Structure 1
Amino acid sequence: MKFNTIDEAKEYVVSLTNKARTIEDVDSAISYYQEMVDGAHSDDSRNLWFSELDKLNKWKGSDDFNNGNYPQGIDDLILELVEWRSVIYAFQSVDAKREPFKESGFYAQWYVGGIYGVFSIFGKLLSKDKRDNSLRKLWEAISPIMLSEGACTKPEVDCINAALDAKSGRFTNENSQALLFRNKLISHNEAMPVVKWDEVDKDFAFLIRMWSLLVSWSSFGLFQPFRTGDQAFEGVESMFDRSEITKLKAKRQEYLKMVEKWSTSYVHTGEADPGRGAFSSLSVKLSIISDNERA
């Protein structure tokens, strides 16, 4: 795939990763970007935020958006995978007085649904099918441009490309617990391998970093993208007491912190990348004006 300009390549990444799919999501994002435009401290900052605002307004008014002619964004897939896994991680990490996944058919079914959700998304992200909007395909199209721009290092790109090799790479049944489970049980009723979540998380960390490099290069990133702890565990009071729910929220937050760390860690060394990742945060700039300056 060829692009005429770097900006065109970045816009392509945004178009495939963009999470803002519903009218509510778009309106919320537009309001946020407008606040950033209004509160910008420099012309450069204002122009950057205005550019993002303009893109969203055009997307909101497009026929494709209004007719639903677009695939699920890669941001959506990544975030939903993390939402599922973070709650599963919390349930696995907290000892409770009751055993909801044994006592309750609803909880047992929820867990099965969570497993199917996690590994179905994993397969979508790594799909090679030309019809799919996958992380693998986006990386293959854009990573050479990011490398030429200095947005990533050659050792890390080489490591990721080797991992994506269809025959000998990381993401094969032989080398990936996540892909093995997805292919053996989710895609085909062939076998029931045991889910080794620690190994699965290593695969997730790899995908999170790939996605983070693309998002941080092409946009401002995602601001507060995850559900709150209250939202994640609303309705569990019948099976968990207050102290247990507090622990569940803390463990889920622990997993989200791991995800943030993965997003800014080199995959080939595990060391921290000093650059920003996919998750953005607001910073407040305070200026103290003296009486003389006011005058």
Structure 2
Amino acid sequence: MAFSLQDAAVQSYIVYSAILALKLLALSTLTGMKRMSKKVFANPEDAAALKGKVNLNDPEVERVRRAHLNDLENIPAFWLLGALYVTTAPVAAWATLLFRVYTVSRFIHTFVYAVVPMPQPARGIAYGVPYLIKWYMGIQVILHYAAALSYIVYSAILALKLIAVSTLTSMKRLSRKVYANPEDAAALKGKVNLNDPEVERVRRAHLNDLENIPAFWLLGALYVTTGPVATWATFLFRVYTISRLVHTFVYAIVPMPQPARGMAFGVPYLIKWYMGIQVILHYATAL
């Protein structure tokens, strides 16, 4: 694994990752500004202080919040996959192009979604291009490290799983003809419905991934710095990944009675606690 801060691809990844992080922060600010301009707030204390009212369903605020959530669903996977991708020693010019196109596309996505809403397929294209870039990088990482079946491979698999579940949500919307935005409903001859039970089940499974997998990326990376036995660490990473795949299957694809989902959630949950405790014990003297 070749990795140097002097490498052009690495420097490019760092710059575009920072830009995307600032974009995330800016979009949360945009949500706040939209609330202020509409005088609608999520909490009574905000409404009282700013002379507005509580409203959790204002369509303009919710549109910005959906754009923000879309960033939260997609950009962390880019950070992970991009970081792993540069360890495969890609051609610098090609890697930079991928990072640049990804970043520009995510900006366009937010613009046509939350700033100046435009008819489809504008948002679909701005979403689809960076989506394909992540799949490309993830597959390249897996192929590069396939023989090792290491932390890197399982992290890439989990990142691709995350973006696959977002596709599953879209497929469910298409099959049910229910959408979150008027322009989607108009383009695809459906209706706006934010409470379809089947769509919401897939979205909850996706949210569960977003709540859990990034913690694995961090704890797993820290855990390998403690010098664990390779076979034991690989076993933990493998069980974690398989369990998360099972969790999505029994939650969103073929819903099964409990305790199927509980077990598929509990096993990787305990693995993260184990790794986290091992990291703390190993570095405890640095507290």
If the TM-score is normalised by the length of the shorter chain, which range does it land in? 0.3 to 0.5
* More relative contact order, 1 or 2 (CA 8 Å, 6+ apart): 1
Give the TM-score of the pair, scaled to structure 1: 0.34
Structure whose residues are more often helix by fraction: 2
